[in-house]
Amino acid sequence: MAHLSNVKYGSGDWRNNKTDAVAVGIYEDLKMSRQIQGVNRELGRGISNALSANLLKGKIGEVKIIIGKKGNLAFVFGLGKVGNLAPETLRKAAAGVSKLCISNSVSSVSFLIPKEAKDDYISQAAAEGLVLGSYQFNEFKTTGEEPFNIKSAIILGGNKKAITKGAIIAEGVCLARNLENRPGNVSTPSHLADHARKIGKTPDMKVTVFEREKFTKMGMGALAGVASGTDEPPKFIIMEHMAGPKNQKPKILVGKGLTFDSGGISIKPASKMDEMKYDMCGAGVVIGVMKIISILKPKMNIVGIVPSTENMSGDKAYRPGDILTAYNGKTIEVLNTDAEGRLILADALSYASEHYDPEFILDFATLTGAVVVALGHVATGIMGTDDSLIEKIKFSSAITGEKVWEFPLWEEYLDQVKSTIADVKNLGAPGQAGSIAGGAFLHSFVRENIPWCHFDIAGSAWGNKNLPYQNKGLATGEMIRLVVDLLEI
Ligand code: BES
Ligand code: MN
Ligand code: ZN
């Protein structure tokens, strides 16, 4: 088991739950609430002793293990200053508790939600933190003992529905992380399609997969062009959850599913090329969200679309200078085969625009190295065509703590992707506004008047952010929590 998958709500006295440990919060002013006094008594004054020894400061992110006289265990987590309790604090605390459980081989824990935490988002965040903090990626280790994980957690207090929802959301994030962390020889387009089909087994979810021959015939010349350099079968995956009223416009999520990006003929340097197994993290967002939808079953119409292939070089590969025709009939001059993500998305966005009458389209892609230069691993770059949609996204970002930063999509940038011999080219102005050039290119493939937002997750999808609910250097699954909040499911 690579993550904790049994998180339940509980009420009443924590002593009745018979878990191996209890976790309780303390504020920076170090005044003991009634909750913590109870735990302290049980531990034979263990917490007050730790306080006198200055071992506990109550700072956000701090989690300490306290061992009582009879060997009973408590985790004390920091809540920061009184009166400022935010969901993110509980997410960090719960994740820290999970990590300490694992490093101390503690199988089960009762996590006490502070009595004064009335906000449902706090309950949800605690559940998310417990699951996400327990995430480990060890499926390729064949040596050593069976890796330890927590078996069960009970969250005491808070809101039951929000706790269940948080655990389900985190489950979707863990699925995405698994698909993303797996290497390119395992997490292939077929692997993504298999997972989509598995999710599609639930009622209300329909999954369709177009093979190379089919999507090529349909006119997806951009995806076909990128896929021409590989024998690994490419896929165009459609996941439809149509549980809403017939006349309700669907919300569409599109994700870049590039399972390995060598750059193609415009080959990438060797250093860090291995990280290009993560070039399908946009697909991870979409499949993760659809997994959550398949469990929560909202009465809504939501469609996920994942164009998926490798980008390889070879005698069949597409070339710099080639002109491809996308699904909406627009022609694309390929000036660099390494700007392939925008090509496969061009077909997916055109397909979404033509086959549906969407309320909005969101796309997720590890699209540009330039977004890492601009925002580091701290935030996702967003840009789009509809101010009220962008406002909603910023709101969900603030609620979930998954940071986004908006870039402008002004006319000047749209001009920079115009080609002299085709309709558009897959590069912008050399060395300038690289992430916006990606968005400006995609803009040509979204039907006018459809609200659309592009998420460049190249900086946020993996890497070192030092958060207890993420793993250093591994995939993060970021944007799934934000999207679930935005969709109001
Ligand atoms: N998948 C990459 C973007 C990327 C690079 C993500 C590094 C994370 C880290 C994308 O396909 C790509 O190669 N983009 C090029 C675009 C350029 C050729 C216009 C890039 O960013 O260098
Ligand atoms: Mn590339
Ligand atoms: Zn790429």
Identify the pLDDT of residue 1: 57
In order of 3, 78, 126, 401, the CA distances from 380 in angstroms are: 25, 28, 23, 12
- Residue 485's pLDDT is 98
Confidence (pLDDT) at 469: 98
Helices of type H across 105-229: 120-133, 160-181, 189-199, 212-218, 221-227
342 catalytic per annotation = yes
Kindly give the number of the ligand 1 atom that is closest to the alpha carbon of 268.
13
At 388, list the tokens: 């009220």
pLDDT at 464: 79
Does the C-beta of 279 come closer than 6 Å to ligand 1? Answer: yes
Q: Is 334 in the pocket of ligand 1 (CB under 6 A)?
A: no
Atom of ligand 1 nearest to the CA of 261: 1
Among 156, 177, 160, 92, CA closest to 128:
92
Q: Is 370 in the pocket of ligand 1 (CB under 6 A)?
A: yes
226, 185, 187: which is closest to 309 by C-alpha?
A: 226
pTM of the model: 0.98
Q: What are phi and psi of 458, to 5 degrees?
A: -60, -30
Query: Residue 148: CB partners within 8 Å, gap ≥ 6?
Result: 102, 105
Which of 272, 280, 338 to probe ligand 1 with, by most ligand atoms within 8 A of CB?
Answer: 338
- pLDDT averages per 10-residue partition of the chain, 489 residues: 92 92 95 90 95 95 95 96 94 98 97 94 98 96 86 97 98 98 98 98 96 98 99 99 98 99 98 98 99 98 99 98 98 99 99 98 99 97 98 98 98 98 98 98 98 98 92 97 97
pLDDT for position 93: 98
Q: How far is the CA of 322 from the centre of ligand 2 (A)?
A: 16
Q: Which atom of ligand 1 is nearest to the CA of 368?
A: 21
Q: Nearest bound ligand to CA 313?
A: 2
Of 78, 8, 18, 83, the C-alpha closest to 50 is 78
Q: What is the pLDDT of residue 143?
A: 82
- Closest listed ligand to the CA of 264: 2
Instruction: Indicate if ligand 1 lies below 6 Å from the C-beta of 261.
Output: yes
Is the shortest distance between the CB of 366 and ligand 1 below 6 Å?
yes
Tokens of 392: 């909603």
Cβ neighbours of 359 (radius 10 Å): 16
Domains (range + CATH), the chain: 7-136 (3.40.220.10), 182-487 (3.40.630.10)
**Residue 164 contacts residue 9 (beta carbons within 8 Å):** yes
- Rounded to the nearest 10 degrees, the angle between the axes of helix 281-296 and helix 160-181 is 150
CA distance readout (Å), 288 to 77, 180, 183: 29, 11, 18
How many Å apart are CA 205 and CA 207, to the nearest integer? 7
Nearest Cα to 365, choosing from 417, 407, 306? 306
Residue 33: what pLDDT?
86
Task: Return the pLDDT at 145.
Answer: 75
**Of 91, 256, 342, 465, which residue is the catalytic one?**
342
Q: From the alpha carbon of 263, which atom of ligand 1 is closest?
A: 13
Burial (CB < 10 A; 0-12, 13-18, 19+), residue 151, is middle
Closest ligand (CA of 367): 1
Task: Give me the pLDDT at residue 147, please.
Answer: 86
268 catalytic, yes or no? yes
How far does residue 268's CA lie from ligand 1's centre (Å)?
9
Ligand 1 within 6 A of CB of 310: no
Instruction: Tell me 232's DSSP state.
Output: S
